[in-house]
Structure 1
Amino acid sequence: MRVTTIDRFDTASGEILSWAVDVSRSAPRVSAVPPSFNQTVHLASAGEHSVWLAAAFTVDGPIDRTALHRAYHALITRHGTLHSAFRRDGDVFVREEYDARTLTLRPNPGVRATSPQTTRQAIWKALDAACHPFGFPAYFLAAIDRPDASTIVCGFDHSHVDAYSISIIVNDLHRLYRGHRDALETFSAELLPMSGNFVDYCAEESAATPIRPSDPRLLSWLRFFDERDGTPPSFPLDLGVAPGQTAPQRTDVRPLLDEAATERFAALCRRNGASPLAGVLAAMADTVRRLGGGPELALLFPLHTRRNGPWENAVGWFTTNAPLQVVGGRDALDSVRRTGSALRSAMRLAEVPVPQVISAMNGMNMVRRDIFMVSYIDYRVLPGGDVHTELDAHHISNVTTADDAQFWISRTDHGLAIRTRYPDTAIGRATIDTFLGSVARSIEHTLSMSVQGLTTTVADPTARRHARSTAVPAAS
């Protein structure tokens, strides 16, 4: 999976095909299920910029329009969040649901794009127009048709998807399209794995029993924020924007390690009771310290919440967050071990609902709009991960504005890569370039210590057993 942004989406020109959802036979019903916490925050912050995630992948030959039409319809029918919507009623966000059996698709007239640039701009404009948080549908279904190889591309407002969902959508669409193309009358979407309905998950979330106020996990959350005056941590190096200011978003996408080096790095981390995420976080903390950002790295990191069968193949925003403090050790390997231990402890805190944390704090002090966070996804283990390279699959995000740094680390068949979103200022560009270069060198230094035979094997079998469990897919 190539993790990128729309301004960097490199695609050949062709005829842009798209489909509209016809709701003339369906009237929405008001749902008693409230928006999830993530959805509520997203809806409350909706502004002029669309926040969406898109999927794109390549298929052989020209688009079989009938097959893709049927595949898109099956995708919508299969995932409950894709036949739901939100509207604002005063200060309340109301969820509405459509009967999927009454929804039909209608092909729009094709649009011929004459260059890669005009193709990208047309797709970008259409995604911005269609993927909005209010109203139905909140997504864009399309393809770029060419004689030799075509691109299937679709985007969704963030309220309905997370990064994990993009892999599910690629997997579902690829299998649905191929099935309908090769056996139009006999293929059935029922052959796909079972998928739960994210709306049902939201109902479970809203009815969950609160954590006890004396629960040690909740108290750990409160201590984390008490040490920061109730404010989420910010990226500790200067990005050239003061609190309350924003700047246009800039994106950096670069590899960290190739496939072979990533395997060695992962093995090194496992031997030291850690995951690749812990290894990268240790390198980040080391870099922050050396660049004058302080002796520790405090951040939030997202985790997915697909913990049982119904949700494993479901499209939705299944994420929560956990707080983490990374403190360096005596050397690079000691830092990896310490970070691995801290990460395992932090993952238990993700069991506490974030709304309950905020309520116990009597509100969070938000001095910036963005939250400094580091996400990690091993795309190889997600649904369809085994065909991402074959399909040239892309996870594409929009470009908006920023006032803090956010990092997405991805592991694929190509190795380890990092996408960074940050404010586009002269100071921000210089800081992030220096930071990322130093992180890469710190990781290489850690690997060199292993080559020199300095790796210490962890004696604690529990730490070793949990090393893989910390490498969980996360949010966008």
Structure 2
Amino acid sequence: MLLTTADRLELPAGRLVRCIPTPPGPPGGARVIDVVADAPPSFNQVNHALAAGATGGWLCLTLTLPEPLDRPSFAAACAALMARHEVLRTTTSFRDGAPVTLSFGDEFDWEIVESDCEGPLADRRRQLRTLVDDATHTVDGPKICFAAIDTGERSTVVIALDHGLTDAVSMAVLGRDVVQLYAAARDHDRAVLPPVGSFLDACRAEAATGGPDAAAAAAAGPDLAAETAGEGFADWHAFFDRNQGGLPRFPLPDAARAGSGPAAIDLRTVLTADRTATLDRFARDRGARLPACLLAVCASAAHAQGLADEFGTLLPVGTRSRDEWREAVGWFVSNGPVELAAGEPLDRLLVRAQQQVERAQRLATLPLSDVLASYARGFAHEGDVGMISYVDYRRVPGHELHERHAVTQASPDAPTTDVQLWWVRDDSGLALRARLPDTAQARSIVGGWLDEVERTLRALTE
């Protein structure tokens, strides 16, 4: 699985084919869009909708089919995706100031629109980016883009969604689904896909129990759940206190945060599959898992570079706590805090990092809206949020298709004021995408830090 950005996508020249779903409406009349009253939007969805601009805010996946595009089969696959995943037929909006989930219904009219996608690669990228921006910001229907570029010999499929509908794992699930649904439609067969749940059920659970995974915690008993939540709120509030009432920021001078354009991107292939397995064993032998090992090495490298004695960040945590959500599409992610004494010996730091990962997973189950609302000092964080993400795509449905179909995930190119890391493990090994302010000072500081991280990881696997 390659992670990149829209301005770095490899796109062929060819015929651009788009499948557009439109909710049917009465002739000459307005479409009826229903409010899903029992499934209010999640905390992530509300924040995303509040921050939405005229462009960006989407996730995109591309994959290659080794054949010319069969238009009817592609349209059938897109329609089947919409039918399979309820969240694709919804959007987040506001009614009288309150966030609501809107449903476009279950039936859609489908239109196939074609145009040329020619010229220099930069022009093709710009054409696709404009198409995705328009599709994911529409107010007339689902905020999705189903498209393909047909070269006459092969086809590059493009699926893009408003981020409020999806997360990185969900994009990979959609890639698996569309490959199988397209093949089934082309061969006049029926795709064999596992049963799937709905993200709207996760929204219902969050609204009913107070957090994305709070139902599981409540099963342990109301008294224990209340005690755990109280301690968790206090932990979150103490974390805010240690960061001036907000969230930790990567140690950059203020002047280094103010880039004049889109974020700088640092893409690295860090370890082979064999070396990644060696690193995994190294961590396990010392009581940690690979995500904790990566956090520990990041903290240690920050100390070695003279950047920080205390290293804090956010850790995205998956919330697919029910079996039926494993195959579902939606934003199944919360966040938990991580704090490490960066100068400790690595063996001790590994144990501490594992403890921090487990703490982050526990605190991520709490309703962040209530965590923030109950913070007496008042939450105050300016700029973007720094974080370190880890996804093991070997555990994601359809991972065996990634290399064969050149599956790639891309996000928009947009400015940032902080540093975000995405660690990716797949069948080829360990890779990294870093996003940072596009200033000379930030590129120098973050580049040196990541060089130290990479050197350390390679040394641990020799």
| TM-score, L = length of structure 2 | 0.90
* 1:4-43 alignment runs, 5 A limit: 4-25=4-25, 27-32=32-37, 33-43=39-49
1:5–1:398 CA contact under 8 A, matched in 2: yes
* 1:280-291 alignment runs, 5 A limit: 280-291=294-305
AA aligned opposite 2:299: A
Unaligned segments of structure 2, at least 5 residues: 26-30, 212-224
Please name the residue that 2:202 is paired with.
201
1:226, CA displacement in angstroms? 2.1
Deviations 1:263-321 (A, max 9, x none): 11111111111122111111111111122222121111111101112211111011111
Which residue, 338, 347, 370 being the options, matches 1:324? 338
Please name the residue that 1:139 is paired with.
144
Secondary structure at the aligned position of 2:172 is classed as helix
Q: Distance in 1 between matches of 2:62 and 2:114?
A: 20
1:71–1:180 CA contact under 8 A, matched in 2: yes
2:335–2:360 CA contact under 8 A, matched in 1: no
Q: Distance in 1 between matches of 2:377 and 2:132?
A: 34
Deviations 1:110-142 (A, max 9, x none): 324234333222111111111128552211110
Greater displacement, 430-439 / 104-113: 104-113
1:91, CA displacement in angstroms? 2.7
Please name the residue that 2:28 is paired with.
none
Does residue 440 of structure 2 align to residue 426 of structure 1? yes
1:208, CA displacement in angstroms? 0.9
1:366, CA displacement in angstroms? 3.4
Does residue 193 of structure 2 align to residue 187 of structure 1? no
AA aligned opposite 2:249: S
1:209/1:20 Cα in 2 relative to 1: closer, same or farther (>3 Å)? closer
2:279–2:461 CA contact under 8 A, matched in 1: yes
1:241, CA displacement in angstroms? 4.1
1:364, CA displacement in angstroms? 5.0
Does residue 130 of structure 2 align to residue 125 of structure 1? yes
2:292–2:350 CA contact under 8 A, matched in 1: yes
1:167, CA displacement in angstroms? 0.7
| TM-score, L = length of structure 1 | 0.88
1:98, CA displacement in angstroms? 2.1
Deviations 1:323-363 (A, max 9, x none): 01122465333322321232223322222121121122147
1:177, CA displacement in angstroms? 0.7
AA aligned opposite 1:58: T
1:333–1:446 CA contact under 8 A, matched in 2: no
Does residue 380 of structure 2 align to residue 366 of structure 1? yes
Please name the residue that 1:70 is paired with.
76
AA aligned opposite 1:64: D
Q: Distance in 2 between matches of 1:356 and 1:137?
A: 30
Does residue 293 of structure 2 align to residue 279 of structure 1? yes
Unaligned segments of structure 1, at least 5 residues: 449-476
2:389–2:422 CA contact under 8 A, matched in 1: yes
1:437/1:61 Cα in 2 relative to 1: closer, same or farther (>3 Å)? same
Does residue 238 of structure 2 align to residue 223 of structure 1? yes
Please name the residue that 1:456 is paired with.
none
Does residue 49 of structure 2 align to residue 53 of structure 1? no
Secondary structure at the aligned position of 2:404 is classed as helix
* 1:280-359 alignment runs, 5 A limit: 280-328=294-342, 330-359=344-373
Secondary structure at the aligned position of 1:236 is classed as coil
Which residue, 154, 168, 179 being the options, matches 2:173? 168
1:16–1:113 CA contact under 8 A, matched in 2: no
Q: Distance in 2 between matches of 1:135 and 1:159?
A: 16
1:24, CA displacement in angstroms? 2.5
2:300–2:343 CA contact under 8 A, matched in 1: no
* 1:321-470 alignment runs, 5 A limit: 321-328=335-342, 330-362=344-376, 364-448=378-462
1:6, CA displacement in angstroms? 0.7
The alignment of Structure 1 onto Structure 2 pairs a total of residues equal to 442
**Root-mean-square deviation (Å):** 2.1
1:253, CA displacement in angstroms? 1.0
1:279/1:144 Cα in 2 relative to 1: closer, same or farther (>3 Å)? same
1:135/1:236 Cα in 2 relative to 1: closer, same or farther (>3 Å)? farther
Secondary structure at the aligned position of 1:278 is classed as helix
1:237–1:288 CA contact under 8 A, matched in 2: no
2:257–2:418 CA contact under 8 A, matched in 1: no
Please name the residue that 1:89 is paired with.
95
Does residue 191 of structure 2 align to residue 177 of structure 1? no
AA aligned opposite 2:88: L
1:237/1:427 Cα in 2 relative to 1: closer, same or farther (>3 Å)? same
1:133–1:157 CA contact under 8 A, matched in 2: no
Q: Distance in 2 between matches of 1:193 and 1:363?
A: 47
1:30–1:95 CA contact under 8 A, matched in 2: yes
Q: Distance in 1 between matches of 2:432 and 2:140?
A: 33
Does residue 235 of structure 2 align to residue 232 of structure 1? no
2:15–2:114 CA contact under 8 A, matched in 1: no
Please name the residue that 1:470 is paired with.
none
1:440, CA displacement in angstroms? 0.5
1:12–1:115 CA contact under 8 A, matched in 2: no
Please name the residue that 1:254 is paired with.
268
Deviations 1:35-57 (A, max 9, x none): 11001100111123321001111
AA aligned opposite 1:215: G
